[in-house]
A = this chain, B = another copy of it.
Amino acid sequence: MNRVEDYADIVGYQTIEDIFKRSRRLVGKSAVHINSTFIGGGVAEILRSLAPLMNSCGLEADWRVLHGYPDFFTITKKFHNALQGEEINFSEIKQQIYHEVSEEFASYAKLDYDCIIIHDPQPLPLVKYMRKRQPWVWRCHVDLSSPNALVWDYLKRMVIKYDLMVVSHEDYLQTDFPLGQRVVHPAIDPLRPKNIDLPDEAIRQTLEKAGVPVDKPLITQISRFDKWKDPEGVVDVFDLVRARVDCRLVMMGGMAADDPEGAKIYDNIRERHAALIERGDLILIVTENDILANALQRMARVVIQKSLREGFCLAVTEALWKGTPVVASRIGGIPLQVQDGVNGYLLDPRDNAGFAERITALLGDDKLRARMGEQGRETVRKKFLITRLLADWLDIVTLLTDDYHH
């Protein structure tokens, strides 16, 4: 279990001292993060690191998970998609199930904390069913740049009860909405198995054990099997690259308990590209295995991220941190991380030919990859590590709790 001071070698002692200074204002205060899954997905990963770290600098910070069930997750995934702009059949029964889960949770969950931080739409209605005795923050990880109006209007009536809304990108701020809003970029934990440094020997062994040969250059996309990650498009790009350079594509994605669409999308790809898989040129991995993800991102010559929508995209952060150039869509939070031509390339998500061209060029240029990789690692070190996120949360909790009782 990591403590704040364990990050000193990576971020420097000044950063650690700044965090401890911030935390002194929070002695005796408590906060709780509430989200809807503890397995799979970026939010669970962040909280798994953030909750112990917040405690290690003095704040009492709990992490609770709403108790959903499959029908509920099917509905909230549709809300999620609608917030990212999709159409939705917004029925009574969907709204009812959505509220029931929060109502039931509120009937027993003891939320005696000085600040309550709700992640994403799933536990959003909780604020309706608890007596509000403290500041509530709605931390939305979704791309809110062009939400479905029907769903956003519906959610606004709950969001307005909150004291602050936190989003991942300036473009997601809601200009026609009077609630206080703030941009906080997500971050990765460099000391977790998914991101720790791995010796070459460990990388090779891990890949061998997982059945990933390294006789050809590797390209990889590590992202849930989700239509927003355009897994079909990734295979199309790979086909174009493969016509010029013999290489291999590995797509790895866990199944988040709160995302019921994953299995179907995975099955479709497996069926449609059976020949490619049979030949060993396309490898699909669904095991949740952080060390393997880490090894793949390090061994890959290029990481591709061909998403159509991304709140922020921690998969890109992870790849950059490992010194691997990223060729990615110019959407959502990706341009906050990838600087075109500096630590990777940005493209229109539909520009398959462009993706293929950039990837092909990178595969053949060791020096370019090394230079971009170094830049990528520096980008993450400066802006997207968990210590920066921790500091942001300490500030938010201080601000809101100071404000509340005065």
Contact = CB atoms under 8 A, between A and B. Distances in A.
Contacts of A39: 68-70, 257
Interface string A136-162: 000000000000000000000000000
Contact of A107 (B55, B69, B104, B110): B55
A257 B255 CA distance: 11
A257 B254 CA distance: 13
A67 B65 contact: yes
A205 to B, nearest CB: 16
Interface in A86-134: 100, 103-104, 107-110, 112-113
Contact of A288 (B1, B69, B100): B69
B70 A108 contact: no
A13 to B, nearest CB: 23
Interface in A206-235: none
A64 to B, nearest CB: 7
A52 interface: yes
Contacts of A100: 1
Contacts of A61: 108
Contacts of A56: 107
Nearest to A286: B263
A63 interface: yes
Interface of A: 1, 30, 32, 38-39, 48, 51-52, 54-56, 60-65, 67-70, 100, 103-104, 107-110, 112-113, 257, 287-289
